[in-house]
Amino acid sequence: MVTLFCRRGFHSLPASSLKYIPWQLSQNLSEERGRLLPTCSSLSFQELESHFVSLLNDSTTLPRLRQLHGCIYRSGIHHSCFVLTKLIRCLTSLDVPVEPSYPKLIFLQAQRRNPFLYTALIRGYSLRGNLGDCVRLYGDMRRDGISPVTFTFTAMFKACGEQLDLRLGTQIHCQMVLIGGFGPDLYVGNTLISMYVSCGVMGCARKVFDQMPDRDLISWTTLLVAYSKSGDMGSAGYLFNRMPEKDKIAWTAMITGLVQNSRPGEALKLFDRMLASHVGLDEYTLAGVISACAQLGASKYAKWVSDIAEDSNLSPINSVVVGSALIDMYSKCGQVDEAYKTFHAMKERNVYTYSSMIVGFAIHGQPRAAINLFNEMLKNRSIRPNDVTFVGVLTACSHGGMLDQGRDIFSMMEKVYGVPPNADHYACMIDLLGRAGKLREALELIEKMPVEPHGGVWGALLGACKVHEDPDIAEIAASHLFAIEPDGIGNYILLSNIYASSGRWEDVLRVRKLMRGRKLRKNPGCSWFEAKKGEIHEFFAGDTKHPQYNEIKRILEKLVERLEGDGYEPILSSVAYDVSDEDKRRILMGHSEKLALAFGIFSSSSGSVIRIMKNLRICEDCHSFMCGASRVAERDIVVRDNMRFHHFRDGACSCGNFW
């Protein structure tokens, strides 16, 4: 300790704190000193406190706060808990780093500490993520016989939530209940809900919510968002409908939750309700709605939401968030040209904008355009590629058969741009090697992966084995897929077809027996076609219930006749069932995408593009059928399956018959 003299007498303070008191700052600037350090005789102690608290409220930089700290010493009020509490709060709220010992030394200056001074330092530790220091100081506070205040508990709960320390958070909660008097506090309740949500204990969060005598929008929205993220849309919807008032944050949370849980139709209906309620939109609301449109893949909704963006002054020209979402939407609706128009019109672009457009080009089989855009992005040094960017570029290389270029890009991801490859990037590389027929090299790459391979990695290898007819490596890939995705019936069917192509019928029977033993049933194939006026027509495999089925059947039979005259032969191995060849032909002709195609031909004008969305991977026979149909019907056909887009034109597909 050292003793210093100031205008109010002698004072003691820790020697280590001297370096923080810049005496010289107020010695050379007489005018500033006069303003910061008024004549003591003219102000009472309380007036001095108010004076410095007012100055602290207007101070936002570390040098300024240090200068004020020195003046507080000179004024002799450095024992005031009121002033020191404000000083600590200001220091710990700065965006710039502050030496951790500085706020603690200020705290130690106070001769008599109150709960607000303790809480200010606990809050400072909480903001810096120092949970251990929060706990130690809280313990000192209790040992000193000082009772916590509301903000003590909110700071502790926030620190526990950020560090995911449920055990400690529960203990503090119990102590708060034992002390009593904090249950009705709205701010405490909201912070407690947030802590339990962060720790993933939704039951406790809901119990706190139900026991709160008063709730505000934060209470409702915190729980609503948590239910949405956990996939419990039933509970989220129940809360949303009970909310006494709903702001745009609540509407956006509910819409986004529906989209994230693959319920785009419900999300759009809710958005209609939001518009009818005259609640203001922002770019995040619109981005959620655009994502719903992208999931549906319907151009009617794409045009509708684009018009709303324009009317709300949230066009892609003004909002990079909306622009990036629109690019993704147009790409997933099969309108990659519209996506690029949006991209080109944007004044501001970021990594998400470029990544969305690169992925759009890649899934539409335009690898050169994707690579060129990637190179353009690299020229802009303010934008660095991220993991999504590289997924798009590697996918483009795979679809374009650019083996050497793909290898180069994969190798420079981490070395040059600091993006470590994840399982999705490895899946792209396996697909790239598989296209080139390098199955053994692909398998060796999987075995060397530093991350655990997921189903997409092994699925890419299994798909390549089907194309290159390698049942031995297919067995290895399938065994891993059966462990990772035991209910993924497509893997069983693919392995069975690989065995069938190699004439290994006993293995075919073994796989089918395994499927029966696990009671696996193939999800019904479903395809959607959007008519002229925006109506969505849904077709299931073998469906005869469509009101225009007779016309669909007539068009389909005529199309088959023309294709057979052109050399088309059904690929019967696309049917996994052990039935007669005639039954296989009948099953193939009832595939949902063929029904949608036939409906599209007679319900749209000549020369228009036929766009079909499908819930499953397109089978080999339907792929061959679409290639032939694009030639004999003289139509461009776009099919989006659960893997990618297929653009059929003049008898060929953009995927190069590898998907």
| Other CB atoms within 10 A of residue 246 CB | 20
Average pLDDT, the chain: 85
Which pLDDT belongs to residue 6?
A: 36
CA distance linking residue 45 with residue 70, whole number of Å: 17
Residue appearing with tokens 């745009």: 248
Q: What is the mean pLDDT of residues 177-184?
A: 82
CA distance linking residue 271 with residue 309, whole number of Å: 13
CA distance linking residue 620 with residue 502, whole number of Å: 17
101's enclosing H/E stretch is: helix 101-109
CA distance linking residue 362 with residue 392, whole number of Å: 6
Indicate whether this model's pTM tops 0.75: no
Which of 496-509 are b and which e, b meaning 16 or more Cβ less than 10 Å from the residue's Cβ? bbbbbeeeeeebbe
Q: Rounded to the nearest 5°, which phi and psi values hold at 69?
A: -60, -45
Q: Record the tokens describing residue 120, joined without a space.
A: 């200010």
**Does 521 or 237 have the greater pLDDT score?**
237
| Other CB atoms within 10 A of residue 125 CB | 24
Q: What is the mean pLDDT of residues 464-483?
A: 93
Cα distances (angstroms) measured from residue 343 to each of 285, 309, 320, 321, 325 = 20, 15, 10, 12, 10
Q: Rounded to the nearest 5°, which phi and psi values hold at 448?
A: -100, 0
Which pLDDT belongs to residue 10?
A: 34
**Does 465 or 312 have the greater pLDDT score?**
465
Q: Which amino acid is at 622?
A: C
Task: Write down the domain spans for the chain.
Answer: 349-421, 439-517, 526-653
Which pLDDT belongs to residue 27?
A: 42
CA distance linking residue 337 with residue 343, whole number of Å: 10
Confidence band of 401 (pLDDT split at 50, 70, 90): confident
The partner residues of 637 in beta bridges, in order of sequence, read 610, 648
Which pLDDT belongs to residue 577?
A: 67
Q: What is the mean pLDDT of residues 538-554?
A: 90
Label residue 292 exposed, middle or buried (CB < 10 Å: 0-12, 13-18, 19+): buried
Contact status, residue 67 vs residue 36, Cβ threshold 8 Å: yes
Residue 195 has pLDDT above 90, yes or no: yes
Q: What is the mean pLDDT of residues 278-303?
A: 84
Contact status, residue 610 vs residue 597, Cβ threshold 8 Å: yes
Q: Record the tokens describing residue 370, joined without a space.
A: 């994707």
Displacement of CA 297 from its chain's centroid (Å): 19
Cα distances (angstroms) measured from residue 441 to each of 152, 342, 430, 478 = 59, 40, 9, 17
Tens of pLDDT, residue by residue over 409-456, are 999 999 999 999 999 999 999 999 998 999 999 999 999 999 999 999
Contact status, residue 138 vs residue 53, Cβ threshold 8 Å: no
Tens of pLDDT, residue by residue over 218-260, are 999 999 999 988 889 999 999 999 999 899 889 999 999 999 8
CA distance linking residue 190 with residue 378, whole number of Å: 45
- Min mean pLDDT across 114-128, 263-277, 518-532 is at 518-532
First to last CA, the chain: 76
Contact status, residue 339 vs residue 309, Cβ threshold 8 Å: no
Which pLDDT belongs to residue 522?
A: 67
Residue appearing with tokens 């693959």: 262
Residue 123 has pLDDT above 80, yes or no: yes
Contact status, residue 626 vs residue 648, Cβ threshold 8 Å: yes
Q: What percentage of residues in the chain have a pLDDT greater than 70?
A: 92
Contact status, residue 72 vs residue 4, Cβ threshold 8 Å: no
640's enclosing H/E stretch is: strand 637-640
Q: What is the mean pLDDT of residues 339-368?
A: 93
Contact status, residue 638 vs residue 645, Cβ threshold 8 Å: yes
Confidence band of 375 (pLDDT split at 50, 70, 90): very high
Q: Rounded to the nearest 5°, which phi and psi values hold at 527?
A: -130, 150
Q: What is the radius of gyration, based on Cα positions, of the chain?
A: 33
Residue 26 has pLDDT above 90, yes or no: no
Which pLDDT belongs to residue 465?
A: 93
- Min mean pLDDT across 40-54, 276-290, 542-556 is at 40-54
Residue 556 has pLDDT above 90, yes or no: yes
Label residue 287 exposed, middle or buried (CB < 10 Å: 0-12, 13-18, 19+): buried
Residue 488 has pLDDT above 50, yes or no: yes
Q: Looking only at Cα atoms, what is the longest distance across the chain?
A: 110
Q: Indicate the pairing of strand 9-13 with strand 526-530.
A: unpaired
The partner residues of 598 in beta bridges, in order of sequence, read none
